[in-house]
Amino acid sequence: MTRFLDVRLSAVGGGLSAFVAINRGTEIGNYQSLNQAQLLPDLEGRHVLLAIHGFNVDRAAGIACLSNWEKLLQLPAPSVFVGLLWPGDSIWLHGLDYPEAPRVANETGRLIGPYLDSNFAGAASISFASHSLGARVLLATVSKMNRPVRRATIMAGAIDDDSLNTEFQTAAARIAEISVLASNQDKVLSTAFPLGNFFGGILAAGHPWWRSALGKSGPSWPRPDNFKAPFEIPGNWDFGHGDYLQLDPPSPSIVVPTDVPPNGSSRPGAEYWQAAWTAAFSSTRFR
């Protein structure tokens, strides 16, 4: 069963807990509490991948999408996967990168960063993968950690495209290697930026108030030295914001790609192939 760090107060909505709970399960029906002594042996000497869901995801959906994605990963031994559940559904989508929206994400990072330093000390390394507004949780967490981070894969990042060089420059510099997955076909990020789309597309690239999302156009120049290309998902793949992770179990017919990015057809024949592809990409970057 998938291991989780859970900092939610409520199953739906609600605020941020004052402490980190440890749980495991693949759905609400088998979601069970653990204690630190039960988790520690799973971490000792292993490379940890901590995966973070995005905004508007309740506890049940977070358990489902992260445990389903774990099934698709092909992490090299010795490694362990841990999901992070945070109250990203306690806020809504009006302007993802402006003062009110990222508040809970930042507070989550302030809680998780010191927790990882104190309780994951036996791990060989810590890496991250995130989706959507989970990018802010990831970078806010790293900014509060003392130990370095081995890898970070930011998928459909709902933060400004220059964040790695501005707001989170110090945090980004403490990650040995950063990967990004971005899609110009991401309509959620197209409407959320610039400035929450309050001006209905009046602002254009180059305007001082204009900012694209990291998960739509990738990182702006100059790109950090620890950034690993490529990042852009081809437009004809029609990759939307909800395609990176999936709520339903992987189809039995799905074939996890072995080449990243894949050659040949941009539309593999299996249902939910996008989540299999993001898992393959992340697995390759984790090595």
Domain ranges of the chain: 2-286
**Could you give the CA distance from residue 213 to residue 154 in angstroms, rounded to a whole number?**
12
Among 36-45, 64-73, 265-274, whose mean pLDDT is lowest? 265-274
pLDDT in tens, 209-254: 457 899 999 999 999 999 999 999 988 888 999 999 999 888 777 7
What pLDDT is attached to residue 265?
46
What pLDDT is attached to residue 146?
97
